[in-house]
Amino acid sequence: MGKVKVAIIGSGNIGTDLMIKILRTSDLLEMSVMVGIDPNSDGLARAKRMGVITCATGISGLIRMSEWKEIKLVFDATSAKAHIYNNSIIDKYPDKRVIDLTPAAIGPFLVPPVNFEDNINVKNVNMVTCGGQATIPIVAAVSKIANVHYGEIVASISSKSAGPGTRANIDEFTETTSLAIEKVGGADKGKAIIILNPAEPPMVMRDTVFTLSEKTDLDLIRNSIHEMVQEVKKYVPGYSLHQAIQFEEIPEDKPVFIEGLGLRHGLKTTVLLQVTGAGHYLPEYAGNLDIMTSAALATGEKLSMLTLS
């Protein structure tokens, strides 16, 4: 069986880490072209050293290359605004599919262990955000057992792992993740918060997930969450529960107010997660970037199996 040829647009940290993951670990994807806009970027220089063809003139340069004809998957690791333009060009080519690692959300949100099967025929899929990839599986795990009124996530990442792209897209991060908590996680209402932690030495990614759901059997929810953690670990080995799952009953006579929903009672579930990066290109504390590239790689490989079959 051959490999599906892919291109990566964006030669920054995320694009470079994804390239190295594909080169080192994938039996299904073949790096064809690494695309950037700065000919002096470290990402393009590293790609050249690793034998990957490069393009320093963005999407306009890529589509003029002879390699473009054979490329079937394009990973976009640029920014939300840049992706809108890039996708407008790629969309003209029916045989190309796009995996969007920006918060642009042109295509439907995709979290591999939650809703991949729902999006196998979609031309452009969006990988939500790092916080979304880490936490939405947990919200979905609770939703499998009981109706979730409210899901809130707090993503804490090292400030050293937040580059210019992350900082420029913080508004998009909160909006995109909040919406995906509802659309993919199954919560009636979602909220997302991101914290850039300046601690030294840098801390690994930590995520806190709160859900308020209908009351149900605690063991059912606990088992569903543990099963989901194991599913995510298949492609993100550094993904783990940081502490035991916590439960608290919100009684009917002491409900909490949720904006947009009103008063609600039920079962509050608190899940504390930790994401340690694989260290392929980025330091291990940059689990926020690693989970994005790992989720994108897992999605690309699943799509490639459909292409090759």
Neighbours of 162 (CB within 10 A): 19
Q: Are 196 and 162 in contact, with CB atoms under 8 Å apart?
A: yes
Among 275, 283, 22, smallest CA distance to 137 is for: 275
Q: Is the dihedral of CA 206, 131, 34, 75 positive or negative?
A: positive
Residue 309 is predicted with a pLDDT of 60
Among 118, 115, 237, smallest CA distance to 180 is for: 115
| Backbone φ and ψ of 70, nearest 5° | -90, -10
> Token digits for 214?
């209908």
Residue 286 is predicted with a pLDDT of 95
Spell out, as residue ranges, where the chain has pLDDT lower than 70.
1, 308-309
Residue 160 is predicted with a pLDDT of 93
Q: Please list the active-site residues.
A: 130
| Backbone φ and ψ of 45, nearest 5° | -65, -40
Rounded-to-integer distance, Cα 6 and Cα 71, Å = 5
Residue 63 is predicted with a pLDDT of 98
Residue 1 is predicted with a pLDDT of 60
Rounded-to-integer distance, Cα 54 and Cα 46, Å = 10
- Kindly state the percentage of the chain with pLDDT values over 70: 99
> Token digits for 174?
């909160």
Domains and CATH numbers, the chain: 4-127+290-308 (3.40.50.720), 130-284 (3.30.360.10)
